[in-house]
Amino acid sequence: MPDIHASHKLIIVTGKGGVGKTLLAAALARLSAGSGLNTVLVTLDTRDDRHPLLNVPLEYAPYQVEPRLAASRVDAFEAVSEYARKTMPFSMFYEGFFKSGTFRDFATAAPGFEDLMCLGKLYNLATESEFDRVIFDAPATGHFRQLLEVPGVTARAVQVGPLNHNARKIQDLLLDADRTHVLVAALAEEMPVREALEIVDACSALRMSVGPVLINRRVPLPLSDLESASLSDLLARETSVSEPVAAAIAASKQAASIAASQERALEPLRQRRLRTLDVPQVVQSSFAVDDLLAEVGAALQPLMEERP
């Protein structure tokens, strides 16, 4: 079976900050749209008005990027207003209150309120919209684990009423392995690998569908053992080498050193027998987003293919 199949409505990409989650999520969204599914890429990031890679507006209402691909930014207070418009009679009378500083102060002080509202919007996009799939560029490790806990905590704290009902619906979606799948992004470095293990353990404890761990910016070994031995023999026989050859040898040794360091950093994943998928480091003479997304997408393609 593929890791991601047609029934997966919500794909979550998370991991330590700085590992390339946004790139991986964007490439995956394009891959999903390219397969024919109407896809929306969603982020909680509020620092920028435009998506850093797709260069389109990041707004609450999904913005059409290209055929079958849209981008959106979830905002808790917009979600509350939208919920009120759908469920409350004479909701226009409450619009001003929901946008007021008083309400924002109250909501910000209420533990988990903003996260629950954002998750509620994700639920709506995944189950009650025209989109076939939601790709969620999720927060980094600590905030993501908090997101997972919020629906259950809310349902236990408020045991009756619409808040309890909605929290349970959101929790059911997150924990449904047939509808939701988590991909964990990491670099082949100690801290990102450690946080990847924490996420896998948290998801596994909740019986969520998770994996593989996406190892971004992977540096391949430049030479095979035989090629390396042949190069050593050549250097032993030659008293001097040309400048281009010397530069090539130095670059090869540096790449080999990086690759070996990455292998050591990934050892904890190997010991746990966790599946990984390498996303190679992309080297460009000049930055080209479409080419970058295409190369990363090609590396992610096996997630959606049948494995022999």
Task: Evaluate whether residue 255 is within a structural domain.
Answer: no
Task: Evaluate whether residue 243 is within a structural domain.
Answer: no
* pLDDT value at residue 307: 42
If we measure between CA atoms, which residue out of 166, 160, 70 comes closest to residue 112?
A: 166
Task: Evaluate whether residue 258 is within a structural domain.
Answer: no
Beta partners for residue 57, in sequence order: 50
CATH number of the domain encompassing residue 273: 3.40.50.300
Give this prediction's pTM.
0.85
Strand order from edge to edge, sheet including 276-280: 63-66, 69-73, 39-43, 133-140, 10-15, 180-187, 209-218, 276-280
* Sequential DSSP letters for 209-277: EEEEEEEEEEPPPSS-HHHHHHHHHHHHH-S---HHHHHHHHHHHHHHHHHHHHHHHTHHHHHTT--EE
For strands 69-73 and 63-66, give the pairing.
antiparallel
CB-CB contact of 41 with 22 (8 Å): no
Task: Evaluate whether residue 2 is within a structural domain.
Answer: no
The label of the residue with tokens 């095979």 reads: 224
Q: Which amino acid is at 6?
A: A
- Total number of domains in the chain: 1
**Which residues of the chain fall short of a pLDDT of 70?**
1-2, 45-46, 80-112, 222-241, 245-246, 248-249, 305-308
Query: H helices of 110-161, where?
Result: 113-127, 141-157
Task: Evaluate whether residue 1 is within a structural domain.
Answer: no
Query: H helices of 59-137, where?
Result: 76-87, 95-98, 101-109, 113-127
Q: State which residues form the domain around 104.
A: 10-219+266-304
Task: Evaluate whether residue 38 is within a structural domain.
Answer: yes
Query: 272-277, long-range: CB within 8 Å, 24+ apart, which pairs?
Result: 272/197, 274/197, 274/200, 274/211, 274/212, 274/213, 275/211, 275/212, 275/213, 276/212, 276/213, 276/214, 276/215, 277/212, 277/213, 277/214, 277/215, 277/302, 277/303
Task: Evaluate whether residue 234 is within a structural domain.
Answer: no
CB-CB contact of 130 with 38 (8 Å): yes
What does the alpha-carbon distance between residue 43 and residue 51 come to, in Å, rounded to a whole number? 9
Q: For residue 87, give every residue at least 6 positions away whose Cβ sits within 8 Å of its Cβ, in sequence order, or none.
A: 162
Task: Evaluate whether residue 59 is within a structural domain.
Answer: yes
Give φ, ψ of 116 to 5 degrees. Answer: -65, -40
> Cα angle at 135 between 219 and 34, to 5 degrees?
80
